[in-house]
Structure 1
Amino acid sequence: MNLSFFDQFMSPYFMGIPLILISLLFPALLFPSPHNRWITNRTSTLQSWLIFTITKQLMTPLNKKGHKWALILSSLMIFLLSINLLGLLPYTFTPTTQLSMNLALAFPLWLATLLTGLRNQPSASLGHLLPEGTPTPLIPALIMIETTSLLIRPLALGVRLTANLTAGHLLIQLISTATATLLSIMPAISLLTMCILLLLTILEVAVAMIQAYVFVLLLSLYLQENI
């Protein structure tokens, strides 16, 4: 029984073919495609407003040089948001519960921000490794500490997203299993756990949105340090 709780995090297969690529592309099929009409419908207008709001929020801490990253950061935000929210539906698979995928998203983007800083302003980028006014005996230790914290950033991004979504999904499944089990034994307790499950589902929707925003926001802050 305990092992079955983790089956939802296993990549789905059909006739030996992994379906994770379909699960990644499926959310994009739900977004309305642009058309050449003068007046758009409500869905397209809402989508444009949402993308504009997200882009404006992400570009606020960045200067004009960082605005070149608006397209990739906004696309990543919409991508993570749609996958996280659709993963809460029954009989679905959430790709962002896989640490390998989250690291595959975090590491190249973090490396791109780091290489951008080393190319445009190498002195300032390397200066982050040593705070100003550091005593001379502490310089080697602080350089090692700051270098370690710099290299661990993509791992922290991936683990944060994976851990939060995995914990929420597990908790929802545990409480839903308890609700179904107690329904015939103790209906009153089952009703209480059902209310808790409803509140937890609402909380998990908020977590799915917040974690997508935090992932992209931290990337934008890393970019701000290097431009």
Structure 2
Amino acid sequence: MKFLEYTRLNRINDFLSHLNLGERTIKGCLEAYSCKHTSIDKRLSLSLEHEILDYLGRSSEADSPSPAEDLISRSSRKTLIYLILTLYHMYPDYDFSAVKAHQFFVDESWDSFEQIFDSYMREASKVWIEANGGTSLLEDLFKALDEVVRLSDCEIYSYNPDCNADAFLERGAIWSFNFFFYNRKLKCVVSLRFCCLSNLVVDEFLTDELAFEEDGEIFDNMDI
């Protein structure tokens, strides 16, 4: 998969890179990828295909259908592999081999995404309007995504990682969301993640870390 550069996405990324709202900070990032496999992607794709088939084989032995089987039947194994490959490109040092189909949910429409974004990003949108004027953050996000993946032809997925194996989780996180906008025809996917961090928790951690480093320096200068 190849990272795709878009000016509209970069503009929003610059705004959401570190939006300080006093006691809280909003952070977000948009990344676009083509679904054309690289040599590394091909190897990962084959490995993921085997893992998915093995998991489905074990799930089929259960008394009732698993959420994984339901998702696979609606979106295909290829889509699931594209989504997981996107995760690997977003965080190349993280192992996503344990990710399962039931951690991805298909959102019915842009409206359901809009409700979540508008509810959690309302304050960020106010700052966006003050800084840029005119349209809201959500409207500009719609235009940016539509330019890249044509939202009318998109499938929208939300990703809910296990709390003990979350590459997105940051210290002081209050809430976080991860979405994927996938266009089968264009063979393109855009990831969107946005989260809210408590500045009080982050500042406390940095203070403790600084104190620990200073204590270490004191002991380093002592003869034992």
Higher helix share: 1
TM-score, normalised via structure 2 length: 0.28
TM-score, normalised via structure 1 length: 0.28
